[in-house]
Each structure stands twice: as C-alpha cells, then as structure tokens.
Amino acid sequence: MNSRKDREYETDEILGRYLDADEEEAEQRRLLNDDIIGKYMREKPSSGTAGEEAKRRAERAAAERRAAAAEKAAAQRRRKRRRTAAGILTAVVLIAVLGLWQHHRAPLSPSDLSDAEAEQALKELEENTAASSVSSPESADAAEAGSAADTAAAESVLSEAAPEATPEPTPAPDTSHYDPADDWCLILVNAEHPLPEGYDPEVVLIENDQSADVRCSDALLKMLTDCRLEGLNPLVISGFREHELQELYFQNMTDMYLGAGEDLETAQKHAGESVAVPGTSEHELGLAVDIGTTTNPDVDESQLNEPAQQWLMEHCWEYGFVVRYPEDKSEITGIIFEPWHYRYVGLTASHVMRSENLCLEEYLEKYVNASPDTEEQTDSGSETAESSQPDSSSSVLP
Ligand SMILES: [Zn+2]
C-alpha cells in the first residue's frame, strides 16, 4: 500500500516536472522568436520607443503566462492526489469486504452456491477482469490487490464488488469532427455575419507590433518558430485590428478604385473583395493573421513564391490554423484567394477542414449548425447569403 502511494506521489512529481519542462520549452520558443524578431526590428531603426513599449508588454504577458501555467500545473497535481486517495480507499474497502466474506463463508458447504450460480459468477468475473484490464491502471491494481488477498473468495465476490471499483465510464461525446470547447475560435465573421456586438478579445503582442487573441498566441508562436527553424523567414504583417483601423484600410482600398475611375458603388464592391467591410473582418476577432516574409511583406500573389509561405500553407493545420480563403472557395467565402491570411479554428476543425477540403463556412454548416437548435439560424443565414455581395454602403459612408 505504501509503495503504491509512493508511486503515485512520484508520478505527481514527474507530472509536475513534465509540466514545468513544457512551460520552459514554450518560454524558450518565445525567447528564440523574440531574438529573431529583435534582430529584424533592430535592422529597422524606426521602431524606437514603440519597440521598447512592445518589449515591456511582451515581458508582462510572458510573466502572466508563466503564473497561469504554474497555477494550472498545481491544480492538476491536486486533482491527481484526490484521485489517488479515492483509489486507495476503494482498494481498502474491497479487501475488507473480501475478508468479511471469507470469514462468514468458510463454515458453509460448497453446495450453498448452485453449479449454475457458480458458473454465472465465474463468467461475470471473467468479463469484469477483461473490462478492468483495459480500463485504468488504478482499477487493475485494485483487482490485483483483491486476488492477492484471497483468490478463492474473490472468484465468488468480485463480480458484485467489482462494479464499485470500476464505475461505468460515461461515454465521451464524439469530438472527432467538432469539439464544442472550441466554439470560441469557430466564430464565423464574414459579410453576412458581422462581428458580435461589443466583441472585445484579450490580445497579446506577437511580433512586428502585431497582436493576436491570447488564447491562440502559443499555437501561432510555435508555428512561426517551427517555420524559422526550417531556415525560413515568415513575419506577421497584420494581426488584430481595432475597428477604426479596419475602416481606414477599407477606405484606402476604396479610394484606390475611385482613383482608377470607378464610381463609389463599384469601388466599394471591389474594395470589399480584398479588404473586409469594417465589422466583418476576421482581423477584428484577433484570430486571424496575415503572414508575409521579412523580405516580402506584400500581401499579394507573390507570396505563393515564398518558401516560408509554402511551408505555412502546408503545415498551418498542424497548429490549428487554416488558409481561410482558399483559391477554390472564393464563391463561398466571398473573398479572393489569400494565401497569406491564416485563421485559428482549433486543432479539431483544422484537421477536418484539411482532410475534407472544407472552408470554414462549409465546416460550420456540416458539423456545427446541423443540430436542430441552430437550424433556423442556418436557414436565415443561407437566405442572406444569396445576396452574394456585401452591402458596404451603411458601414463606410460618413
Ligand atoms: Zn488578412
């Protein structure tokens, strides 16, 4: 019993060390990333005091992340200890029950148990043993302790006692295609689905003065660092955008088309094809980043020739990101092919979207909005989708 307890504490220690090591690795990744970006930023003398402020913000954010990770590790260790205590208690009760049974049963003749009953008990025992051998190690240990106490007694009793030791696990929901825990990163924002009112994500500085939602920042940094470790040079060109900044971008693009001689309506229509109408941009979510390279920050088709971009397009799904506006989905997304625009959707969705070649709209329709609760919403969504071009006049005109 003591050795088992010791083992559990040892496991806790290893788990603790593992979690600490994990956090250390993440921190090293951030430092490496900061170092690379630092070099890049030093080559651009214009960054000045903004760079200093950004560095302070990044340091504060890193300290907060470390504190949160430590708290998480401690909570996991506490939970693990509680589970251990419950496991030991169950084993003690089981052995006590076996002892009592043995004590009362010894004077009785074997004929107390009919052959049929004995056969049934043995059959159940076999089934339970088979079940516990594929369940948790704790229940396997409990069964082992039981058989060590008294095999003969255990054979007739374990079939009754075992269900207590190995409670039926509640079947896990099927999250292979859709994990409801990822709802926060599956928000659909497009011309028909504007940003939720008052949406205000907590963002953290990533690099190049660009920020992203703190909840996807680790995945983003890991993707960037892994790309850099391949000797490539990705750089976040644009991350989280305040609403006002999105308005400015849209206005600039509209002005460009106006300058080319288009009327206002056409200019806004064309602007809306490459810059989202304010309130409908994923950049306002904090879950999207435009990534170029340190030598080519132009977000246009030239990105397709950049090895860094090719690597990102091939590997982004491994980090929970997707190329949000693929070439063959423009009709559905309403946005031209943007090989530089990556959107975080979580690992479950990114794997499914890649393997089934779905864009976010298709994925949500197939796996998320299919339940009866949201059918009404889906119907109204597809109705508005028929007016394919965004109605930009209301949100841009003064
Ligand atoms: Zn973008």
Domains of the chain, residue spans:
2-165, 180-396
- The amino acid present at 208, given as its one-letter code, is N
Dist. CA 283 → ligand 1 center (Å)? 6
Counting every residue written for the chain, the total comes to 398
pLDDT score of 307: 98
Q: Which residue out of 53, 338, 356, 375 is catalytically annotated?
A: 338
Cβ atoms of residues 330 and 336 within 8 Å = yes
pLDDT score of 57: 59
Dist. CA 298 → ligand 1 center (Å)? 12
**Which candidate, 357, 345, 347, 368, places its Cα nearest to that of 282?**
345
Long-range contacts of 378-386, Cβ-Cβ distance < 8 Å, separation of 24 or more:
381/192, 381/193, 384/192, 385/192
Instruction: Note if 338 is an active site residue.
Output: yes
Dist. CA 73 → ligand 1 center (Å)? 35
Joined tokens for residue 175: 């999250």
Angle between helices 48-105 and 137-149 (to 10 degrees): 20
**Which candidate, 241, 247, 244, places its Cα nearest to that of 210?**
241
pLDDT tens for each residue of the chain, 398 residues long: 445 555 545 544 544 444 455 566 666 666 666 665 555 444 443 444 444 555 565 566 556 655 665 666 666 666 666 665 555 555 555 555 555 555 554 444 444 444 555 456 456 555 554 444 444 444 444 444 444 444 444 444 444 444 455 666 666 666 789 999 999 999 999 989 999 888 999 999 999 999 999 999 999 999 999 999 999 999 999 999 988 888 898 999 999 999 999 999 999 999 988 788 889 999 999 999 999 999 999 999 999 999 999 999 999 999 999 999 999 999 999 899 999 999 999 999 999 999 999 999 999 999 998 755 444 443 333 333 333 333 333 222 22
Residues paired with 16 in a beta bridge:
none
* Strand, coil or helix: 43: coil
Joined tokens for residue 296: 């080519």
Q: Please, is 343 exposed, middle or buried when counting C-beta atoms within 10 Å of its C-beta (0-12, 13-18, 19+)?
A: buried
What span, in angstroms and rounded, lies between the C-alpha atoms of 382 and 365? 10
Cβ atoms of residues 273 and 180 within 8 Å = no
* Strand, coil or helix: 54: helix
Q: Which residues contact 395 (CB under 8 A, 6 or more apart)?
A: 277, 278, 279
Dist. CA 340 → ligand 1 center (Å)? 7
What span, in angstroms and rounded, lies between the C-alpha atoms of 15 and 380? 49
Q: What is the DSSP string of 316-349?
A: GGGGTEEESS-GGGHHHHSS---TTEEEE--HHH
pLDDT score of 272: 85
Q: What is the pTM of this model?
A: 0.52
Span 180-396: which CATH code?
A: 3.30.1380.10
Dist. CA 309 → ligand 1 center (Å)? 14
Residues paired with 290 in a beta bridge:
238, 341
Q: What is the DSSP string of 123-178?
A: HHHHHHHHHHHHS-HHHHHHHHHHHHH-HHHHHHHHHHHHHHHSPPPPPPP--SS-
What span, in angstroms and rounded, lies between the C-alpha atoms of 17 and 346? 27
Dist. CA 158 → ligand 1 center (Å)? 62
